[in-house]
């Protein structure tokens, strides 16, 4: 997707009548309205947490006809927000599709990461438009797969990295690509995540619970009573969750209240993608677009230690990117758990009190600093802190606006339904083939490095990567097991497996 071009080419490729995409010079941009798409029938799959706002905002632009969530209380609670459309309710997306596929036009998918691909792919192959939460997928190969399917079937897609529709983010990307901070030299990205539990030895089963109880009592009757009481608690909590549907494509494991469902799944390798998967599609969004962060060749990490079951509590990752036509070779560094780049870097450019989440792009003329996850604001500074003036006349593509889009998350949905209305999949900034898929591939490569860094305080094995072929080129030399499965996962429990031969068509 081009961010800087001639005015004539820009008008040819980016200005669509009625779509709300207008040429903007400098910081000025005329607002266009895009009306809601009448008659759009939408199904929401995963409607708790972030999924709640996703389906409610999508409902501003269409009719919500079906809701699906593995948590029964969440499902029933969300249904109350759509009394006017009386949506059908499901705990298993397969039942929803079996009964409603011919009655829906689009889906929102806001489940745990491990179910994004199987649900979204099924919808796309049936010709349905898809809005899927970030990270697009749990693994790298799945991201390529969804991009491939979206292009093949011609549907309109958007990932839920809602900062993509912010004027500031798009303008910052355009300014950096135009050379406002000179030649790109380095990139640092950091986050305050995780804000959920991560770290080794966190799982629980009835057998493990019984062993823990033995440490507290040697009275057989008391031990039996403790275990039986806990068993009742677990079974009672499980009544609210369709656990088999929640596990889905992942390996089976025992249900245990509070450590997987509902929000804690992010910290488990089988279900989530850790801090990187949660926030990098936001915080790395602007640097990715501005610095052409496709096709990394190497990645290595350090971590606080993990057990190949739960993500580490903290990690630091270094990505190596080769030179492109627009910049030289660079290293991108990721930090989580509130760790930031060296304070001297911020001092050098007069940045006071750097935030716990943000990004800084270092160029030959100065830096671009975003103090939040979405690049909702940014600063351009030279050494010593002097502000750098933006380049006049740099064009950027404005997202559509309406009465709801003061909320940039809703604006991301508006861009998606506008693309559907215009039958122009490319109108979505974070569409799967051109942006969301490649961004997710780049980000999730970092988790291969984290996987290969299980020992606390030790730099892990370096992953050498052929991004176009989706292959670890030094796989045979790695001592860490299981790396390949984080590239091309094998689905469990009878779900349709991905035929990975499609990758040849993407080369």
Report residue 23's pLDDT band, with 50, 70 and 90 as the boundaries: very low
Same domain, 183 and 323: yes
Distance of CA 398 to CAs 193, 369, 375, Å? 30, 21, 15
Q: Is the pLDDT of residue 262 over 50?
A: yes
Per the structure, the count of domains in the chain is: 3
Which residue from 326, 340, 336, 335 is spatially nearest to 295, judged by alpha carbons?
326
Peptide bond just before 135 cis, omega within 30 deg: yes
CA pair distance 465, 471, nearest whole angstrom: 6
Same domain, 216 and 311: no
Condensed to tens digits (0 to 9), the pLDDT of residues 362-389 reads: 999 999 999 999 999 999 999 999 999 9
Residue listed under structure tokens 């003061």:
406
Q: Residues 431, 154: contact at Cβ < 8 Å?
A: no
CA pair distance 366, 389, nearest whole angstrom: 11
Q: Residues 443, 140: contact at Cβ < 8 Å?
A: no
This prediction has a pTM of: 0.92
Bigger pLDDT: 25 or 195? 195
Same domain, 131 and 253: no
CA pair distance 377, 386, nearest whole angstrom: 17
Condensed to tens digits (0 to 9), the pLDDT of residues 55-94 reads: 999 999 999 999 999 999 999 999 999 999 999 999 999 9
Written as six digits, the tokens of 141 are 């190969």
CA pair distance 25, 128, nearest whole angstrom: 35
Same domain, 301 and 384: yes
Report residue 18's pLDDT band, with 50, 70 and 90 as the boundaries: very low
Same domain, 430 and 447: no
Same domain, 274 and 358: yes
Q: How many residues does the chain have?
A: 507
What average pLDDT does this structure show over 463-489? 97
16: in domain: no
12: in domain: no
CATH number reported for the structural domain that contains residue 461 in this entry: 3.30.360.10
CA pair distance 271, 265, nearest whole angstrom: 6
Distance of CA 275 to CAs 68, 253, 282, Å? 26, 23, 11
314 Cβ neighbours under 8 A, 6+ residues apart: 303, 304, 336, 337, 339
14: in domain: no
Using DSSP, state whether 221 is helix, strand or coil: helix
The last residue of one of the domains, among 437, 467, 496, is: 437
What average pLDDT is seen over the chain? 92
265: in domain: no
Q: Is the pLDDT of residue 107 over 80?
A: yes
Using DSSP, state whether 423 is helix, strand or coil: coil
Same domain, 171 and 301: yes
Same domain, 154 and 253: no
Distance of CA 270 to CAs 38, 86, 274, Å? 39, 34, 11
The last residue of one of the domains, among 258, 285, 301, is: 258
CATH number reported for the structural domain that contains residue 136 in this entry: 3.40.50.720
Condensed to tens digits (0 to 9), the pLDDT of residues 115-153 reads: 999 999 999 999 999 999 999 999 999 999 999 999 999
What average pLDDT does this structure show over 24-42? 47
Written as six digits, the tokens of 322 are 């080769």
386: in domain: yes
For the chain, the maximum distance between any two Cα atoms, rounded to a whole number of angstroms, is 83
What average pLDDT does this structure show over 431-445? 98
Distance of CA 43 to CAs 82, 354, 402, Å? 12, 41, 23
Report residue 38's pLDDT band, with 50, 70 and 90 as the boundaries: low
The angle at the Cα of 443, spanning 438 to 448, to the nearest 5 degrees, equals: 120
For position 39, what pLDDT does the model report?
85
Same domain, 48 and 192: no
For position 507, what pLDDT does the model report?
87
Distance of CA 234 to the CA centre of its chain: 31
- Residue 354 has a CB neighbour count (10 Å cut-off) of 17
32: in domain: no
The last residue of one of the domains, among 258, 286, 301, is: 258
Same domain, 292 and 353: yes
What proportion of the chain, given as a percentage, has pLDDT over 90?
A: 91
Same domain, 307 and 453: yes
337: in domain: yes
24: in domain: no
Question: DSSP string spanning 375-392?
Answer: -SS-EEE-GGGPBPPPPT
Domain limits for position 470:
167-197+270-391+440-506
Same domain, 298 and 409: no
477 Cβ neighbours under 8 A, 6+ residues apart: none
The angle at the Cα of 202, spanning 201 to 205, to the nearest 5 degrees, equals: 100
Report residue 263's pLDDT band, with 50, 70 and 90 as the boundaries: confident
């Amino acid at each position: 997707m081009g961010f800087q071009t001639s005015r004539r080419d820009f008008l040819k490729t980016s200005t669509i009548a009625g779509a709300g995409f207008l040429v903007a010079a400098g910081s000025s941009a005329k607002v266009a309205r895009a009306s809601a798409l009448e008659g759009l029938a939408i199904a929401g799959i995963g409607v708790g947490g972030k999924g709640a706002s996703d389906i409610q905002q999508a409902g501003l632009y269409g009719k919500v006809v079906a809701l699906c969530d593995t948590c029964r209380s969440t499902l029933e609670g969300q249904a109350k927000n759509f009394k006017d459309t009386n949506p059908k309710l499901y705990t298993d997306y397969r039942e929803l599709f079996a009964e409603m596929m011919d009655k829906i036009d689009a889906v929102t998918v806001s489940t745990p990461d491990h179910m994004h691909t199987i649900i979204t792919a099924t919808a796309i192959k049936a010709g349905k438009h898809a809005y899927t939460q970030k990270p697009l997928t749990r693994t790298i190969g799945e991201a390529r797969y969804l991009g491939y399917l979206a292009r093949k079937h011609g549907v309109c897609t958007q990932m839920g990295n809602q900062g993509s529709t912010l004027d500031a983010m798009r303008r910052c990307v355009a300014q950096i690509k135009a050379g406002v901070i000179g030649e790109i030299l380095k990139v640092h990205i950091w986050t305050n995540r995780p804000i959920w539990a991560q770290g080794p030895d966190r799982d629980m089963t009835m057998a493990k619970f019984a062993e823990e109880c033995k440490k507290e009592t040697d009275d057989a009757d008391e031990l039996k009573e403790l275990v039986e009481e806990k068993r009742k608690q677990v079974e009672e909590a499980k009544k609210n969750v369709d656990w088999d549907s929640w596990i889905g494509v992942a390996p089976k494991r025992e249900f245990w209240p509070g450590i997987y469902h509902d929000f804690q799944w992010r910290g488990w390798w089988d279900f989530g993608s850790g801090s990187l998967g949660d926030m990098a599609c936001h915080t790395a969004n602007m640097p990715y677009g501005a610095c052409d962060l496709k096709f990394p060749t190497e990645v290595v990490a350090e971590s606080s230690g993990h057990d190949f079951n739960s993500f580490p509590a903290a990690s630091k990752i270094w990505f190596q990117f080769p030179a492109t036509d627009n910049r030289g070779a660079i290293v991108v560094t990721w930090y989580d758990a509130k760790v930031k780049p060296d304070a001297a870097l911020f001092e050098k450019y007069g940045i006071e009190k750097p935030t716990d989440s943000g990004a800084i792009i270092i160029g030959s003329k100065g830096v671009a600093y975003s103090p939040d996850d979405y690049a909702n604001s940014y600063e351009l500074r030279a050494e010593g802190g002097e502000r750098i003036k933006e380049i006049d006349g740099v064009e950027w593509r404005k997202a559509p606006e309406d009465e709801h889009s003061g909320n940039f998350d809703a604006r991301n949905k508006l861009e998606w339904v506008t693309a559907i209305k215009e039958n122009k999949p490319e109108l979505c900034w974070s569409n799967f083939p051109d942006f969301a898929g490649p961004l997710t591939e780049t980000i999730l490569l970092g988790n291969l490095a984290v996987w290969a860094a299980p020992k606390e305080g030790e730099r892990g094995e370096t992953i050498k990567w052929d991004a176009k072929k989706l292959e670890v080129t030094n796989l045979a030399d790695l001592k860490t097991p299981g790396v390949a499965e984080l590239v091309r996962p094998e689905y469990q429990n009878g779900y349709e497996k991905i035929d990975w031969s499609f990758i040849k068509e993407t080369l």
